[in-house]
Amino acid sequence: MKAVGIIVEYNPFHNGHWHHLQETKAKTAADCLIAVMSGNFLQRGEPAIVSKWARTKMALAAGVDIVIELPYVFAVQAAEQFAHGAVRLLDALGCQELCFGSESGDIAAFLTAAKTWFQHKEKFDSLVRSELARGQSFPKANAEAWRQLDSDALDLSKPNNVLGFAYVKAIWQNKLAIVPRTIPRLAAGYHDESFSHSSIASATSLRKVLRQTGQLERIAAYIPSTTAEQLQQYRLTYGRWHDWEAYFPLLKYRLLTSSEEDLRRIAGVEEGIEYRLKQKIVSAETFATFIAATKTKRYTWTRLQRLCVHVLTNFTKEEQNKAAAPTYIRLLGMNETGRRYLQQVKKELALPLIAKAAKLNGDPLYEQEKRATAVYTAAFPEPLYSAALKEEYATAPIYFSGMERK
């Protein structure tokens, strides 16, 4: 069986993701489609709108055969570390290809860019450093260094090109036998907050509508029915969807009761930002106003969000430095095809395949996952908090036996 990997967040799963799945299947002739998915918190430093379990159901219903979890220590990271964890996991599960969506849509451009990068790595790094020294943010410093290398192969001001580029580099750096492929993304840009296409809208814009109106029917045209059902069911069960504001009281409490020394131990706290965080939090009444007041040219909104997730989950530099590579493959869900595939490869896997998370107690990556879940579920009042917390340890992988949407 030919396994093909995809790297996803599904926050929530929408028609653009559906398109990506169909194109991936058509282009790769995959027998088994494996998604590595972020868990409670996402790459840009935000809580997922619904739990990993609900999002796994969305993925399986749309035709993904296996969903595994990208551990927190890789998920809530800049592109390079995110890509590193994701491709290592797909490789560990035996994927022959990786198929990602990008603004470019041309894999040759990524390969050319990656070659340029490897050839001029030292010059590139020194250009980045000098841009950083001029006070630029990491993304801007990277883009500018890239421009100065005079490579027009790939537009690295586009967020999905940046991620795709990181995937290709990570495959090469890890010397993995995974063939990268890319599919052009439809219409909507990742960050677009307005609807611009009749059935395709970015996850960002969908979440914004839900946050502002609370009305599922407002986004119905842009999501499969399973996503609507899962979002509906989740709100019925847990009383809410998740956004940063739900965690702001915890963040404020944590920052106010942490010393500067405590904060310096947290991953991503550099260059004295701890003083600014402690200063700005005192009178901030919402997360949005807090980040707006705190951000600088150097500390972008996304970087601050990610850092704040690390503060909330008490994720330290020491823990980050120790997280060199995935230590397990955590299965979140599968269908019959996925089950057969796992049956076939399970004896050759490079990492332990884990169905019951309780077996992972003591694994440093999973200990951080538990903390992330403890934060994520703290958005619920008791007794829901305790119940949701228990699901982290006790939920068996979801087996999807339903008909796939045609």
Q: Which of 144, 197, 374, 395 binds a second copy (CB under 8 A)?
A: 374
For a second copy, give the closer residue by CB, 169 or 310.
310
Q: Are 391 and 384 in contact (CB under 8 A)?
A: no
Asked if residue 312 binds a second copy (CB under 8 A), the reply is yes
Using the Cα atoms of residue 117, residue 107, residue 34 and residue 377 in order, give the sign of their dihedral.
positive
Residue 363 within binding range of a second copy, rule CB under 8 A? no
Instruction: Give the whole-angstrom CA distance, residue 402 versus residue 70.
Output: 25
Q: Out of 382, 401, 403, 406, which residue is the one contacting a second copy (CB under 8 A)?
A: 382
> 234 CB contacts (<8 Å, ≥6 apart)?
50, 51, 54, 241
Distance CA 66, CA 56 (A): 9
Residue 11 marked as a ligand binder: yes
Among 125, 386, 396, 404, binds a second copy (CB under 8 A): 386
Query: Does position 375 bind a second copy by CB under 8 A?
Result: yes
Is 321 near a second copy (CB under 8 A)?
no
Residue holding tokens 């494996």? Answer: 34
Q: Does the protein bind a second copy through residue 285 (CB under 8 A)?
A: yes
Using CB under 8 A, which residues numbered 212 to 251 contact a second copy?
248-250
Nearer to a second copy, 216 or 374 (CB): 374
Q: Tell me how far apart the alpha carbons of residues 166 and 106 are, in angstroms, rounded to a whole number.
A: 15
User: Can you name the residues that pair with 298 across neighbouring β-strands?
Assistant: none
If one asks whether residue 38 binds a second copy (CB under 8 A), the answer comes out as no
Q: Which is nearer to a second copy, 135 or 249 (CB)?
A: 249
Residues whose CB falls within 8 Å of the CB of residue 19, separated by 6 or more in sequence, listed in order = 186, 200
By CB under 8 A, name the one of 177, 282, 343, 347 that touches a second copy: 282
Per CB under 8 A, 362 contacts a second copy:
no
Question: Is 274 marked as a binding-site residue?
Answer: no
CA distance to 33, 212, 343, 398, 401, per residue, from 336 (Å): 12, 39, 10, 11, 7
Residue (of 163, 264, 158, 183) closest to 18 by Cα position: 183
Tell me whether residue 120 is annotated as binding.
no
Interface positions with a second copy (CB under 8 A): 248-250, 252-253, 256-259, 262, 282-286, 312-314, 367, 370-371, 374-375, 378, 381-383, 385-386, 389-390
- Residues within the annotated binding site for ATP? 7-20, 101, 160, 185
- Residues within the annotated binding site? 7-20, 101, 160, 185
